[in-house]
Amino acid sequence: MNKLSSSKVAQVLEDARYMLLSITEERDKLASENAYMKRHLEAEKLASVMHDKGVRMDVDHAELVGELEKAAEEGRLPVIQEAVDMVSHQNGFTGRLSNDDVTGGGGNALESYILGNVG
């Protein structure tokens, strides 16, 4: 049977330690980059939805994405997303209240007739 010397075993364990530390460091770096990309994509998507709905049109898209990324880092993005989901699409339409059943200057047909605004 081949016996390993204690110095060889110690060297193998030391090499394994450095290799595990290197792999752990690389994993943590990739996890951090992945989290950044995920936040960025969520912010991009939300910024597009906000502009489509007419929200925060005073800020350009890139600046809005930056603000949303900061909000995501602080954990506030889900709340903002929920609020934006509650906003309806504006589509450039400005509503106006009106009464198409105008009866002239009076409140009823008789008053309108007397005021001269009928027929």
> In this predicted model, what pLDDT tens digit does every residue of 53-62 receive, in sequence order?
989 999 999 9
Residue 104 in this model has a pLDDT that exceeds 60 = no
Per residue in 35-52, pLDDT tens? 999 999 999 999 999 999
- Maximal CA-CA distance, the chain: 123
- Total domains in the chain come to 1
Q: What is the spatial distance between Cα 104 and Cα 119, in angstroms, rounded to a whole number? A: 10
Residue 96 included in any domain: no
Q: What is the pLDDT of residue 93?
A: 54
Residue 34 included in any domain: yes
Q: Crossing angle for the helix pair 61-73 and 77-86, nearest 10 degrees?
A: 130
Residue 65 included in any domain: yes
3-state SS track over 70-91: HHHHCCCHHHHHHHHHHCCCCC
Residue 115 included in any domain: no
Residue 108 included in any domain: no
Q: What is the spatial distance between Cα 11 and Cα 2, in angstroms, rounded to a whole number? A: 17
Q: What is the pLDDT of residue 111?
A: 75
- pLDDT grade for 73, boundaries at 50, 70 and 90: very high
Give the residue numbers spanning the domain of 36: 6-89
Residue 100 included in any domain: no
Q: What is the pLDDT of residue 100?
A: 57
Q: What is the pLDDT of residue 105?
A: 59
Q: What is the pLDDT of residue 88?
A: 83
